[in-house]
Every structure is written in C-alpha cells, then in structure tokens.
C-alpha cells in the first residue's frame, strides 16, 4: 500500500502589509516533504509506503499572492496525478487559516481540498491534520474522511496530533468503511490569545474532548478555535467529530451537539488571562513590579502571528516612564532603513537617528540618540533538535543615551522567544530586568525563564478584539460582536 502526503502551513493576516510571494515560501519536495511532516514512521510501521509531494511552509504572515498559491496547488495536483494509479490514501497537513490575495474563496485550503477530491474521485481516503486556529466548514468536511486539529495552544501536541491522524488514516486504509466527519459550525469569533489551553475554559473543553474520544464509536473529536485576522465567510469555531462506523453517526451527532452546547455555555470564560493591561499601564506596572526577568509582550504587533514587529508605542512609553537603574531590552524593532545605517557602523559608535518604519500610527518614529553596544546575528530558531534554525541577518543593539534601555534594531520580523536567540544576538536575556518582545501570550520556551509577565493590549494587526476589524463576509449574528443568547449552528 502507498500513501500520498503533502502540506501547506500558513496563517494569513490581512492587516499585515506584506504580501507573500513564492520566494518567501519554504518549499520541501519529495522525501524532504515526507520527512518534515513527521508521519513517515506511523505509515511504514503499518506496512504503508510514503510518497512525498510538496510541503509549503509559510507560517504566520500576511496574505499569499494568488500566483504563489497556484504554484503550490498545481505542484501538489501534478504529483498526485503522477502517482494516482499507485496510491491507497492521502494524508495532508493543512493549517486552515491561509488567505489568498485575489482568490474569491479566500481560503487556500478550502480550494485545494476541493481540487484534490475532484481529482481522486469520491472514495479515496483523505485525512487532514490541522491547527485549531484554522477555519473549517461543513463543506470542507464533505471533501475529507478524517480531520482533526491539535488540542493544545501553544501547540505542544502538534507532532503527536499529526501522528494520531496518520495512524487513523492507516487504520481506514486497512479496514475500509464509509467515513465522514460531522462539522458543527458555531457562531463564535475567538482570538487565539484568549483561548490558551492552560486556562479555562479550554482546560474543561479539552477534558470533555478526551473523555468523548475514549468511546470506541468515536473515531476522533476536536474543537476548532478559528482564525479572525482576515475576512472570509468561513470564520468561526467548530466541533468536529468522526464516527467510527456508519452506524455510529447518530450517536456521534448527538455527542457533537452536546459538546457544542457545553462550549457555548462556557463562552464568557474566553478572554485574556494572567497580567494584561493597556500599553502605558503595562509599562508602568512592570517597572513597578521590578522583578528580574520580567517580560512585556506587545500583543498587537505579535510576530509569532505574522505582524511586522515595527510598532514603537511601548518604546515611547518606556522612554517616558523609565526609572534609573532598570535594565531594559527591546527585542526588537524592525526598521529597514535604520538597520541598514547601523549595519555599516562598528560597535562603540555614537548614533543619532529616527527609529520607526512610519507606515501607520503604530510605527511612528522615535528619535534616538545613543551608542551601538553590540553586534550579533539575527537568528530564527532554537538550536535544538526539532528546530535547528538559521542565521537570517545581522542585528545591531543600541543603548539610548542616559538610560539602560537597549534596542535591537532588526530588518526582519523576528520573534525572540528563546534565550538561545538572544545569545546569538550577543545578549543575555537574564541580564535585563525587563525584556519587551513581539508576542501575545508567553511562548513555551520563555515561560520557565520569566518571573513576571504582562501582556500589553496594544492595537495593531494582531489585535484580538474582533470589534477592531471591519468584517463584511462573516456569518451574523456572531458572538461576541452581536448579542447572541442561544446557540444556533451555522448551516
Ligand atoms: Zn495555531
């Protein structure tokens, strides 16, 4: 037996100015694709040979150019056609939150899955592993046989989820039966930063999902938080259940409805948790706490969710409220012009410049007088086994004169989320009292390093406040934009 595998990972924020072109995309073909999807072992131990197609890794970013998407789509379809006579099933890793500039359907996944199903006919088993921050619809469910997303945010279970889906597909390929997911689409618009799995109500929701999935009549069950940073008619949360046998369908539909009602009744518990505050207050509060090492995250400019990392609002407040003796690091601020100017000068040079891309009110320039105190590498990745990472450029760190405020000036939207990345820039994370990073919730690797964290609820492309955006295409009424009391599923 043979399984065809492919993938596309993209989370596309339409409020980010950058449009992704083909050369921005990390394309892995054939064996490299099969390897990077982390599922080879699952199939091979079931005696199934893996045929790798293309894994397009894009990550969280702006919208994708139509031409780039069509190149990805046609490469997957071309290789699928080439191997059609020898394959027994299809495994796909599709994030679920892609947005294509100039595509009527907006979502790349929804178009791609229809094209794949059309090519292979009605009965070829297709399984899809997804991110809970993707948008799924009943129509998407019509094109696939198995679909399941991760439970945990941050996504500590992403690899394990892909392997679960692969094992389930191997089961279906070996023991063929009609199988179709039931997708209950809920009128809820949730922000990823308001639905962390270490907090309620996700703790309760994940417990209910685990409990439900223990029943042998349930092949798989999951909850989609959804994605809200581009306008599309597919936005919203969902409960997805896959019955094990055709005769389990009624039972599973009832189970899915029971879960959807329970989640709906917990909806008021979604929200920011821990310490969070408006931007100026976040700066004042963290300075007052005075615990080393404290972290302030810049929610509206979250590079981990695709923002450009060039907002200067927190820097302005820090310059205004800074207290003598406090060592502060901004990691970092993206400004291509300032970066180019600094990169030509050696360490120790006194500099005067305006810092800020000045693309909108959030990236208004701040006048800086200071000294280049360090040169180092811009490095993307953690240097560990799962993600070796790579050097993507050089960074100059400038100390503002008369203060202990250091600013890493970048030419790319890097998120600093691991002490290793700071070390590559020539800096020690723990040498600072306060580190400001372009992040929303605190990422996995920074959690154990951080003694105090405050999320600054800044405006910007990665704001989690649905009312800040002008949606035209979404289902209405939808909670929390509208006053919806009773759960009525989206048809
Ligand atoms: Zn996600």
> How far does the centroid of ligand 1 lie from the alpha carbon of residue 224, in Å?
10
Q: Distance, CA 155 to ligand 1 centroid (Å)? A: 7
What is the 222 CA–ligand 1 centroid distance (Å)?
14
CA of 265 from ligand 1 middle (Å) equals: 23
212 membership: H or E segment, kind and range: helix 202-213
Quick one: pLDDT at residue 450? 96
CA 304/CA 307 separation, integer angstroms: 7
Distance between Cα 326 and ligand 1 center (Å): 35
pLDDT at 41: 97
Nearest-10 Cα torsion for 331, 98, 185, 130: -80
Ligand 1 geometric centre to CA of 60 (Å): 9
Q: In angstroms, what is the span from residue 175 Cα to ligand 1's centroid?
A: 32
Compute, in angstroms, the gap from residue 360 CA to the centroid of ligand 1. Answer: 27
The pLDDT value recorded for residue 59 is 86
Enumerate the H helices of 291-433 as residue ranges: 313-321, 336-343, 419-424
Q: What is the DSSP letter of 291?
A: P
Q: What is the pLDDT of residue 385?
A: 45
Domain ranges within the chain, ordered by starting residue: 2-269, 276-463
Dist. CA 82 → ligand 1 center (Å) = 32
The residues facing 355 across adjacent strands are 366
Distance (Å) from CA 164 to ligand 1 centroid: 18
Q: Which helix (H) or strand (E) holds 348?
A: none
Which residues of the chain, if any, have pLDDT below 70?
382-388
Distance (angstroms) between ligand 1 centre and the Cα of 152 equals: 9
Return the pLDDT at 387.
55
* pLDDT at site 383: 54
Ligand 1 center–CA 193 separation, angstroms: 10
What pTM was estimated for this model as a whole?
0.91
Cα 194 to middle of ligand 1, angstroms: 12
What region, left, alpha or beta, does residue 405 occupy, with left being phi > 0 and alpha being psi -120 to 50 degrees? beta
pLDDT per residue as tens digits for the range 329-356: 999 999 999 999 999 999 999 999 999 9
CA of 319 to the centre of ligand 1 (A): 33
The rounded Å distance from CA 205 to ligand 1 centre is 17
How far, in Å, is the centroid of ligand 1 from the Cα of 12? Answer: 11
Q: Summarize pLDDT for 171-221 with one digit per residue, the tens.
A: 999 999 999 999 999 999 998 889 999 999 999 999 999 999 999 999 999
Cα–Cα distance list, 36 to 45, 79, 93, 153, 154 (Å): 17, 17, 11, 21, 20
Q: From residue 272, give the alpha-carbon distance in Å to each of 157, 201, 288, 463, 491.
A: 22, 11, 21, 12, 30
Residue 251 CA from chain centroid, whole number: 33
Residue 445 has a pLDDT of 87
CA dihedral 134, 137, 143, 144 (to 10 degrees): 50
């Amino acid at each position: 037996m043979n399984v065809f595998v492919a993938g596309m990972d993209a989370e596309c924020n339409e409020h980010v100015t950058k449009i992704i072109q083909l050369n921005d995309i990390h394309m892995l073909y054939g064996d490299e694709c099969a390897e990077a999807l982390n599922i080879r072992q699952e199939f091979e131990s079931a005696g199934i040979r893996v045929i790798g197609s293309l894994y397009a890794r894009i990550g969280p970013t702006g919208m994708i150019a139509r031409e780039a998407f069509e190149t990805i789509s046609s490469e997957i379809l071309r290789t699928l056609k080439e191997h059609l006579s020898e394959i027994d099933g299809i495994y796909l890793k599709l994030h679920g939150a892609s947005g294509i500039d100039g595509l009527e359907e907006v979502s790349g996944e929804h178009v791609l899955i229809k094209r794949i199903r059309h090519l292979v006919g009605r009965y070829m088993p297709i399984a899809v592993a997804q991110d809970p921050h993707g948008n799924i619809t009943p129509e998407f469910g019509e094109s696939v046989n198995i679909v399941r997303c991760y439970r945990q945010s941050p996504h500590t279970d992403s690899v394990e989820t892909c392997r679960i889906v692969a094992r389930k597909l191997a089961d279906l390929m070996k023991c063929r039966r009609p199988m179709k997911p039931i997708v209950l689409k809920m009128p809820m618009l949730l922000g990823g930063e308001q639905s962390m799995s270490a907090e309620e109500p996700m703790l309760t929701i994940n417990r209910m999902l685990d409990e439900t999935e223990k029943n042998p009549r349930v092949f798989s069950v999951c909850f989609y938080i959804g994605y809200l940073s581009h306008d599309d008619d597919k936005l919203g949360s969902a409960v997805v259940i896959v019955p094990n046998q055709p005769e389990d369908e009624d039972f599973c539909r009832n189970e899915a409805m029971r879960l959807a009602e329970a989640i709906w009744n917990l909806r008021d518990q979604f929200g920011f948790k821990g310490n969070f505050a408006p931007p100026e207050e976040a700066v004042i509060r963290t300075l007052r706490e005075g615990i080393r090492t404290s972290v302030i995250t810049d929610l509206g400019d979250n590079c981990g969710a695709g923002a450009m990392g060039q907002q200067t609002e927190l820097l302005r407040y820090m310059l205004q409220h800074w207290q003598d003796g406090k060592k502060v690091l901004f990691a970092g601020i993206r400004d291509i012009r300032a970066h180019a100017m600094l990169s030509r000068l050696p360490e120790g040079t006194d500099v005067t410049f305006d810092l800020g891309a000045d693309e909108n009110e959030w990236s208004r320039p701040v006048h800086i007088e200071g000294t280049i105190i360090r040169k180092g590498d811009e490095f993307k990745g953690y240097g560990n086994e799962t993600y070796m990472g790579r050097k993507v450029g050089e960074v100059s760190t400038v100390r503002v004169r008369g203060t202990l405020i250091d600013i890493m000036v970048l030419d790319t939207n890097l998120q600093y989320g691991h002490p290793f990345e700071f070390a590559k820039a020539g800096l020690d994370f723990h040498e600072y009292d306060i580190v400001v990073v372009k992040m929303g919730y605190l990422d996995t690797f920074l959690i154990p390093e951080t003694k105090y964290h405050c999320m600054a609820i800044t405006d910007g492309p990665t704001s989690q406040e649905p009312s800040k955006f002008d949606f035209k295409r979404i289902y209405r009424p939808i909670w929390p934009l509208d006053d919806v009391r009773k759960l009525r599923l989206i048809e």
